[in-house]
Structures are given as C-alpha cells and as structure tokens.
Copies of this chain bind each other. A is one copy, B any other.
Amino acid sequence: MNFDHSSKVQDLMAKLSTFMDTEIYPIEEHYHNLVASSTDRWQTPQLMEALKDKAKAQGLWNLFLPKEYLPHGAGLTNLEYAPLCELMGTVMFSSEVFNCSAPDTGNMEVIAKYGTQAQKDKWLLPLLNGEIRSAFAMTEPEVASSDATNIETSIENKGDHYQINGRKWYTSGAMNNNCKILIVMGKTDPSAARHEQQSQILVPLNTPGVTVVRPMAAMGYLDEPIGHAEVLFENVKVPKENLVLGEGRGFEVAQGRLGPGRIHHCMRLIGCAQRALDMTCERVENRIAFGQPLSKQQSVRESIAQMYCKIEQARLLTLKAADNMDNYGNKVAKNIIAAIKIVAPKMACEVIDEAIQIHGALGTSQDTILSATLAYARTIRLADGPDQVHMMQLGKNLVLGRNKKL
C-alpha cells in the first residue's frame, strides 16, 4: 500500500484543481439555474459542450479508463484516479465535463472489455468522444433486484434476432435527450443454472417497442438533465450481434462493471462529504448565534471533528480498496470493495446531514448543493446493491476466512 502519487498524477491533480477553480465553481450556480429554468428539462445546457472541449484540450478526458484501453483514456490505476474522481465529486455535474460520469463510464468499460469490434465502432467511439450518452437498464420494479437473479425481463432468442420484453426503472441517464444506447440485462434462458440465465444486450433507445415511460424521482430529485427513467420494452427486436459476450454471461459482464462503478461512487461521495465539511468550516466562522460565532460552540467543534474523522477514514479505506483492485484484481479485492460500498455512502449521508443541520434553513434549500448531494448519497446506499447485500457477502466471507490477508 503506497498511497503516494506519481508526478504524472500530481500534474493531473494540479490541472484538474485549476480547472475546477477557474471553469467549474464559478459557473456552478449558473449551470444549476440554467437547468432549473430550461423549457426542456432533459436537455443538457449548451454550456456543457464548451466545458467538455476545454477539458479535452487539456487532457482531462476519460480519466477513468485504465491503461488496457490506451490510447483512449489517461491510463490511470484506480489508486491514481481516486483523488481526481473525488475532486470531480465536489460538483454534481462536473464528471460529465471530463467524460467521467456514470453510467457511461461503466458502459464504456463493458463495451471496451467485452464488446465486438463492430459494437466498439458503433457505440464505444462516440461515447469515448462524449458525443452521445448511454444508460444501463437493470433494476426492475416488480422484483427485488438486490438479488440480481430475480431479474425477469426476457431476452428471447428468435433465431435471427432477440426479442425483449420487460419493465425497468431507475435506468439512470435514459431521460437525457442525448442518450442513444442502453445496455439491458435480462434472461435468455430461465431454465439454466441460477447464474447463467442472464445476458446483457445493446439496445438503441430509438428501437421500436422501447418506451421511456416517466422520470423516476430519487429522494425528491429528478436529477435533470440526466434523470432516471422507467423504461418499458414491448416486443423489442434487436439484431443478434448486439448481445454482449454471449448468452448466459450477464453476471460475468455485470461483475466486470460493478467493481469500478462502486469505487467511483465512493470516490465522488468522499468529494461531496469533503465539500460539505469545507462549507461548514466556513459557515460557522461567520454565523452568530447567542452572542458568538457558531465555531465557538463545543458541540459544533465536536461535529466538525467527527465529520473530519469519518471522511478521512472512508477516504483511506477507499484508497486501500483501489490499491488492492490494482494489485490483486477486483475478484480478490471483493471484500474491501464491499466494505467501501457499505462505508462511503453512509458516511456521506451522515456528514452531509450534519452539515445541513449546522447550515440551518439554508442547508435544506436549493441555494447550496447539500440537500442534493445528500439525496445522491442516500440513493447510493441502495444502488449497485443495498448495504445489506454487501454486508451479507462481506460477513459471510469473513467468517469463511476468505480474502483474509488483504
């Protein structure tokens, strides 16, 4: 475990930090206002394209993509990406600026890793260029998707094509006007062994039979202009070559995306929590109640100390997980990936909630990002597996002595 950064990463950190300071924070409020006042809430503000161009020009692009996929991406390890991802996490929309936003990152990794050349040409390249966006349709309203074997959408092999029927929701990204492609998980063979029933398949959003039913709220937020869609699939026909990797290999593909996906969320949430702490430290110096600044209250000092302790611990655990993933692979590192997925979202919820309490009414308002980031953190306690599923796996593995030495 060596958490020191190479000079390459230090350079990227400095560049990204400068970019955030000069290009992002100054327009943050303006951006949110643009979205809120837009006539089409699913249209990304034009502003975004200019920001993306600037980021690309500075080499701050596809930073998430590991070295296997060079020359695409920055070729960073998870450990190297961590401080960058955390920094992007401090502003809700900034990951997109650097083409590092979920769920596209996961989708790009999947296609890069498991896709055919044709799939790559058609979908990966525009995604890597930030020309289109994508979504991943997995969770279903009718079944407990925390147990992914429950997923019921059918992907029937009809000889020359697949036919898809089912209902998905919380398909994040699918509301956005620029979303063109879905990766859909469903059953190709309900009679196969439990973990071989599912497959993943590429479905262009404009395929006949695909209906974006409505935007789903996440703790009161529609998360415009990205959104989370309910999507209905009615006799949707897609060519056979759209299947990813092979029939029955849906779980294998899912495993490949979930490790990085989870740790990226954790990194971003650490950024959210750190910003909440920074805002709080500033606020308490300037807010007077009962004759003195809040910062002189022992209870406020205790809150701030606790926030720091929680953030710092979660950050270190995330770095260790990143390091283990880099050195031993996602499978061997699964215990500590589970651990950060349990720890970081809950930590972020607690830290941001405390920041809101100290901010008072302002903290609950649209004038800070606190309540929106709390909503984000809260949903991540469920997305990509609820806390309980990760605790189940981790607890079980620990008792069995699996992966003990890491």
Contact = CB atoms under 8 A, between A and B. Distances in A.
Contacts of A317: 309, 312-313, 316
B364 A395 contact: no
Interface string A297-308: 111111111101
Interface stretch (A38-46, A203-211, A232-240, A370-378): A370-378
A364 B388 contact: no
Contacts of A361: 139, 141, 145, 169-170, 216, 382-383
Contacts of A303: 395
Contacts of A297: 298-299
Interface residues of A, number: 86
Given A298-B297, A309-B317, A361-B145, A284 B399 contact: yes
Number of copies: 4
Interface stretch (A22-30, A90-98, A100-108, A336-344): A336-344
Contact of A305 (B1, B366, B395): B395
A147 B386 contact: no
Interface in A272-315: 277, 281, 284-285, 287-290, 294-295, 297-306, 308-309, 312-314
A14 interface: no
A3 interface: yes
Given A219-B371, A302-B392, 17 more contacts: A1-B2, A1-B4, A169-B365, A219-B219, A301-B399, A302-B395, A305-B339, A305-B392, A308-B394, A309-B317, A312-B317, A312-B339, A313-B316, A316-B319, A356-B378, A357-B381, A360-B382
